[in-house]
Chain A
């Protein structure tokens, strides 16, 4: 059954997330080819950007601290999208779901110690042939109220 476009406008959140250095390091390590965590893992892949993991380098950088890699934001900004995909009101079969498209716009870097709040809203539901497209827009604000990140998350559901 095609996705019901009347669900456009459904909102999810806000969801709160406190950013920590250990999680940033684990993310950078996993993406860089290493093993996250401190048990059977934790070694740093060579050529990892030092501003993600090394406090002294981060402090000496233009940002004044370590920062999160650009797509670290999955840890918090994906939550409204994941909840929309598994929302019983929409009834999506997760086995038929694919992540189709992704877009981020960044307005500031994210640092350890930031406390973020992310809201999501379904902004598009469209059927093309046997495929349904659903796009969730997320907006993440920092503890100062400033928008630091916007995401457009598009799911494709195969009929």
Chain B
């Protein structure tokens, strides 16, 4: 496993995740978030979307997965912060690109972008901090 000296400003990491047709339903089962906007395309359309939309928290879980790969020990992650800037729809593929922006003592800070296949940002201001001891 990587140690503190293996983390350097400028490190990058990438993760791609697809929102297949049933992903919002699978995520609902795993998370308990059965808000109808994520399950029922009709409710999604009433809310002004093209159909059911993915739970923002699933997008954030993907972001956390990307960070877990970088930090290696999931228990190192101490902070996660995102703004949800655009819904993720069924059929979307989201690419997470992370970059280490600071190493201050044992705290490693990363910034992550998350874009769909059209290049639109689905998250803004996404940051994570890891404590590497």
Q: Say whether A145 faces chain B, with CB atoms less than 8 Å apart.
A: no
Task: Collect the chain B residues with CB atoms within 8 Å of residue A83's CB.
Answer: none
Task: Collect the chain B residues with CB atoms within 8 Å of residue A63's CB.
Answer: 75
B83-97 with Cβ < 8 A to chain A: 83-84
Q: Are A32 and B57 in contact (CB under 8 A)?
A: no
Q: Is the interface of A mostly helix, strand, loop or mixed?
A: mixed
Task: Collect the chain B residues with CB atoms within 8 Å of residue A27's CB.
Answer: 30-31, 61
How many residues in A have their beta carbons less than 8 Å from beta carbons of B?
40
Task: Collect the chain B residues with CB atoms within 8 Å of residue A23's CB.
Answer: 30
Q: Are A74 and B78 in contact (CB under 8 A)?
A: no
Q: Which of B29, B64, B65, B74 has the most CB of A within 10 A?
A: B74
B69-86 with Cβ < 8 A to chain A: 73-75, 77-84
Task: Collect the chain B residues with CB atoms within 8 Å of residue A67's CB.
Answer: 74-75
Q: Are B30 and A36 in contact (CB under 8 A)?
A: yes
Q: Are B74 and A51 in contact (CB under 8 A)?
A: yes
Task: Collect the chain A residues with CB atoms within 8 Å of residue B35's CB.
Answer: 94
Task: Collect the chain A residues with CB atoms within 8 Å of residue B77's CB.
Answer: 70, 106
A37 to B26, CA, bound (A): 9
Known: A32-B65, A75-B31. 8 other contacts (CB 8 A): A27-B31, A33-B17, A33-B18, A69-B68, A95-B43, A95-B46, A101-B84, A102-B80
- A-B pairs, top 9 by smallest CB distance, nearest first, are A30-B30, A99-B56, A31-B61, A103-B81, A109-B75, A27-B30, A71-B61, A70-B64, A30-B26
List chain A positions with a Cβ less than 8 A from chain B: 23, 26-27, 29-37, 49, 51-52, 61-63, 67, 69-71, 74-75, 78, 82, 94-96, 98-107, 109
